[in-house]
Structure formats: C-alpha cells, structure tokens
Amino acid sequence: MSPETIWTLAAFFLTVLVLSYVLGDNPLFRIATYLFVGVSAGYITVLIIYQVLIAKLFNPFISGSLQQKLLFMIPFVLGILLIFKLFPRLAAVGNVSMGFLVGVGAAVAIGGAVTGTLFGQIQGAIMPFDLSTAPGSAIAQLAGGVFLLGGSITSLAYFHFGARSRTEPTPARPGVVEVLSKIGQIFIAITLGALFAGVLAAAVTALIERLDSIIKFIQSLFV
C-alpha cells in the first residue's frame, strides 16, 4: 500500500469521524477532536523547540559573542522564573516574567489596534474624498465616501455611553447621539450579517470539498 493511499484512508476516516457530529456528540467525534488537539500540541511544541528555543536562545548563547550571550541571558532568566508558576508556593517568583509578558502583549495589541485598525480606518474613510484618484465617476466615489464615513461615525456613536449620575439609574445620551446610534445599529447589523454569511459560505465550501473527497475515494475502490 502506497503512502498516498494511506494518507487518503486517514483523511477519509477522519472526515467521517468529524461528520458523525451531525448525529450528536459521540465517541467517534471525540476521537477526532482528541487527535486534532494532540497533533496541534505536538506540532506547536516541536516548532517552539526548534525555531524558538534552539534557534533563538541556545545557538546564539553557545556560539554568539559575549555581548550576545549577556543579552540572551535576559529571556533565559525570565523563562526560568516562569517555571516557578507551576508551583503554588513559589508562584510569586514568576510574577516578574508574567508582568513582562502581559506588558509586552498589551503594548503589541494596543500598537497593532492603533496603527493597523484605527489609522487604517481613518485612512480608508479619507481616501474616497480624494477625487483625483477616482477610477470612474467622481460623484459616485464621493457618494460612497459619504456613506462610508456616515457608517463609521454612526457605528461609533452606538458605543457612546454617558456618565451615570446619582439621580438617574441609567446614563442618558443626548438626542442627537441617540439618533446616530440607532442608525449605527443598522450598519452593525449589516456588517455582522455579512460576516456570518462569509463564515457560513466558507463552512459550506469546506463541507462540499470533504463530501466530494469521500465520494471520489469510494468510487476509486470500485474502479
């Protein structure tokens, strides 16, 4: 039996195990999920060992210059301190490493949100008003820019919450903001509907591809 046939059989049986979920949660589907989690964990572990620990830490520490060795002592010590989080009595020792991870993670997330999302959204809302780059009708591009800008403003208005006073149980928003928020709800609903439709279409495409592979595999057994 060729390796290609073995992998085809494995893909066939795993597909059947996953599709058995249509009958409800069952041991066959659990076997498929356990295999997926186990293979993913093993792959990530090997990737971390060879491409992070060995390539980025041990090799530079062994063959690098003195300056590089001193520099790589910082992540090495932080990694050692992080191991103490496994022991409840010594967990406080690893707080330094956890604080560093949380701080760097928060900085990366905030920086990515500002530069990638906020600035990108602002640039995307401004670009349609540059009529010199209009590929077609300038009026159509201007109308699209106004629609896009209005959707962005009204969607942001939906998330506007005033300060709660001591006499009012809920914060009251100005009338203009309330109207804009209602319009923003429409844009948000359309966006979520489009995202859901995209996810559903991708899932249906994957299902069709898997069913087609099953049919072709069964046909190959009788040819």
| pLDDT 10s digits, 90-129 | 888 889 889 988 999 999 999 888 888 888 888 888 888 8
- pLDDT at position 200, please? 93
With tokens 């190959």, the residue in question is: 220
What is the signed CA dihedral for 114, 120, 126, 128, rounded to 10 degrees? Answer: -170
Work out the angle between the directed axes of helices 138-158 and 119-126 (0-180°, nearest 10): 140
Determine the average pLDDT of the residues in 201-211: 87
Q: Report whether 210 contacts 203 (CB < 8 A).
A: no
Q: Of 208, 157, 200, 199, nearest to 182 (Cα)?
A: 157
Of residues 40 and 86, more confidence is placed in 40
Flag the least confident range among 2-6, 79-83, 137-141, 212-216: 2-6
Determine the average pLDDT of the residues in 77-95: 87
- pLDDT at position 121, please? 81
169: confidence class by pLDDT, cuts 50, 70, 90? low
pTM score over 0.85: no
pLDDT for 165 beyond 70: no
- pLDDT at position 34, please? 93
pLDDT for 14 beyond 70: yes
Determine the average pLDDT of the residues in 170-187: 81
- pLDDT at position 102, please? 92
CA distance 173 to 132: 39
